[in-house]
Each structure stands twice: as structure tokens, then as C-alpha cells.
Amino acid sequence: MKTIRWGIIGCGEATEKKSGPAFQKAEQSALVAVMRHNADLGRNYATRHGVPRCYDDAEKLIRDPEVDAVYIATPPAFHKEYALAVARAGKPVYVEKPMAVNFAECQEMIAACEKASVPLFVAYCRRALPRFLKVKQLLDSKSIGRICFVNVTLYQKPSPSDLDKSKQGWRVKPELAGGGHFCDLACHTLDLLMFLLGPIAKVRGFASNQAGLYEAEDIVTGIFHFESGVHGVGTWCFSAYSNLDVVEIVGTEGKITFSTFGPDSVRLVNQDGSAQFNIDHPPHIQQPLIQSIVQELLSVGTCPSTGRTAALTNWVMDEMLKEYRAR
């Protein structure tokens, strides 16, 4: 019974609960090393999470013979650099979302991993969560008939850090994130929709900075057309008066609504009436996806989120932001 031994590059906030503990709790998986440039913070993380080794140099972690696979949890601007280094070492790569700052970098990562014959996975964890697998089951069973269109609405109030330029993090700095909150959050919804409805073939978007709180865009409206013929419209706004997160998939015989990030139930309305499905997420939201990666690495399963599926999500976002970035 082989165990996949993991190393993490960039053990920041996102790894504290969403992913870090999941490497320990997944079957046949163990977290054995972490890397952080701030050695004191790295040692603190390792101590709290029971990780035996800590590095302040990524190359040392990558070359550690007891690290079988590497999870890259840095801001997107560094994903390509580290992914290429891990591929050169001949080890599987698991990278945070979005996969990179743009589609071109995604293509470089895919090519490097294919040349090295190593798998490339991306942390679009919603592809493996029971709540969204239920949505897929409802769609696949034709519970709403033929799918016609999807509407996405996500708006949020500016966070305290958005309002204070001295505290703004990397998520609103295009040079680190590729854009603003849109790139950080909309990527999850767009990737999930392509998991549910198939690839997006055509897309156009309109982006603006309405509030002027930071350099990145703070509102994006996109229209997209799936290969299957399904139409889609989405609006993402990060300077609104309140918060809302709704995805509505409409078919010829009903509709399904759910939220990408909130705890809302999955709701089905069709000719038989209405139904509500209350499916909680696991404590560590990446654990089901990590388990699927471990199973693929052990040749007993398949991970639903790869470099190729994730790169398409970057392409869609690039198309929506193309005109704004060109200004």
C-alpha cells in the first residue's frame, strides 16, 4: 500500500484549512515537507500541522527524494516557474487556481509536464465536491430537460482590505493575480460550468474599474457559448452594496439553482414540483479532489481537474478581460 508523499510550496492562508490538512487526511497520502521564504513562518506552519521538514528554498523541497509530488500554493504569478521546476525533477504537479496569470503560461506548463511525462493537476476542487456532483447528476438525468442557458450573478461589498490601500493583498494586483477578484473567484464558477455543461467555445467580456479602489477590474460581464449550444451570461461585481452568489441553469422542463461559494442548498424546480438538496462541504474542501489525485497517481482512479481542463478556464477569463487589459 504505497503512500503519496507531498510537499507544499507556499504554505499561506489558503493551505491552513482548505488543502494542507487534506493531504494528511486523504487515504494513502501524507504531507512530509513545506516551503516558505519566511523560514520562521514556515517552521511555525510545519509545527502546527505535524509536517516533519521545512524549507525556505523551493528547489530543495523539489529535490527532496522523500517528496513524491508537489503542490504549488503561491500567488498565480509564480505558478509557471515552480511548475516547470517540478516537471524538470520528474514529479507530479498540483497547482492552485487559477492555473496561471494567463492562457499562454498555462500552455507552457502543459507542454513542460507532457515533455517530462508527469501529470499536471489544478485545484478546481468543486469538480469533486458532493454538492456539485449532485448538480451534475440532476443535469445528466435530464431532470430539467434540454439545457437552454445559464445565468451567473456574483456581487460583493468591498472588503476592509479593498478599502485600505496599505492592506490590499495580492488578489487585487494584476501582476501577481492576472487581474482582481474576478480572476480569483470567477474561475471557480467558469470551471465548474464547463465540468457540468462541457467546454465553452466562444466568449466575449466587458470589464471596468468603477470604484477605483485598486488597479484591477472590479466588474466583469461576460457572454459565452458552449460547444453543446447552451448559452451563458455572467456578471461579477466587487463594489456592490451587498453580497449575492447565484447560478441558475434553465432547461426546457425546469431549472436548477445553486451558489458557487455559499452554503445554499441545491434547488430543483420542474414539472414534478420543487426539491431541495442540502449537501454540506467537507471540513477541508480540497480533500475529495486531493483523494482523486492520489488515486490517479496510484493508478486506481482519475482526477477530474487537469492542466488541460484548467487552461481552458484561463482562456475564457483572458477573453473576458482582453479589452480591459489592452487599455
CATH number at residue 64: 3.40.50.720
Average of pLDDT values for 209-214?
98
- As a whole number, mean pLDDT of residues 9-25 equals 95
Is the same domain home to 264 and 234? yes
Per-residue pLDDT tens over the stretch 51-88: 999 999 999 999 999 999 999 999 999 999 999 999 99
Query: Within this chain, do residues 251 and 295 fall inside the same structural domain, yes or no?
Result: no
Range of the domain at 259: 130-280
Residue 323 in any domain: the answer is no
- Write out pLDDT tens, residues 258-314: 999 999 999 999 999 999 999 999 999 999 999 999 999 999 999 999 999 999 999
Cβ proximity of 144 and 249 under 8 Å = yes
Same domain, yes or no, for 176 and 250? Answer: yes
Question: In CATH, what number is assigned to the domain containing residue 203?
Answer: 3.30.360.10
pLDDT tops 80 at residue 171: yes
The pLDDT, as a whole number, for residue 327 is 84
Q: Confirm whether 257 is domain-assigned.
A: yes
Beta strands 147-155 and 4-9, pairing class: unpaired
- For residue 1, pLDDT beyond 90: no
Task: Give φ, ψ of 105 to 5 degrees.
Answer: -65, -35
**Is 151 contained in some domain?**
yes
Give a yes or no: residue 236 inside a domain.
yes
DSSP-derived 3-state class of residue 208: strand
Determine how many CB atoms are found less than 10 A away from the CB of residue 227.
12
Q: In what order do the strands lie in the sheet with 4-9?
A: 53-55, 29-35, 4-9, 69-72, 93-95, 120-122
pLDDT in tens, 41-56: 999 999 999 999 999 9
Q: Are residues 78 and 58 in the same domain?
A: yes
pLDDT in tens, 118-170: 999 999 999 999 999 999 999 999 999 999 999 999 999 999 999 999 999 99
Predicted confidence at residue 324, as pLDDT, reads 96
Contact, 179 vs 217, CB < 8 A?
A: yes
The strand pair at 266-270 and 273-277 is best described as antiparallel
Do residue 239 and residue 153 come from a single domain?
Answer: yes
The strand ranges marked E within 24-144 are 29-35, 53-55, 69-72, 93-95, 120-122
Per the CB < 8 A criterion, the answer to whether 292 and 304 are in contact is yes
The reply to whether 258 and 295 lie within a common domain is no
Shared-domain flag, residues 207 and 247? yes
Clarify whether residues 137 and 210 are in a common domain: yes
Number of domains in the chain: 2
- Asked, for residue 310, whether it belongs to a domain, the answer is no
Whether residue 137 is found in the same domain as residue 241: yes
Mean pLDDT of 214-227: 98
Query: Does 101 map to a domain?
Result: yes
Residue 315 forms part of a structural domain? no
Q: Which residue has the cell 519566511?
A: 38
Q: Give yes or no: residues 168 and 29 share one domain.
A: no
| 319: exposed, middle or buried (Cβ count in 10 Å: 0-12, 13-18, 19+) | middle
The verdict on 107 and 138 lying in the same domain is no
For 289, counting Cβ atoms within 10 Å of its Cβ (0-12 exposed, 13-18 middle, 19+ buried), the class is buried
| pLDDT exceeds 80 at position 205 | yes
| Residue 309 falls inside a structural domain | no
Residue 144 shares a structural domain with residue 211: yes
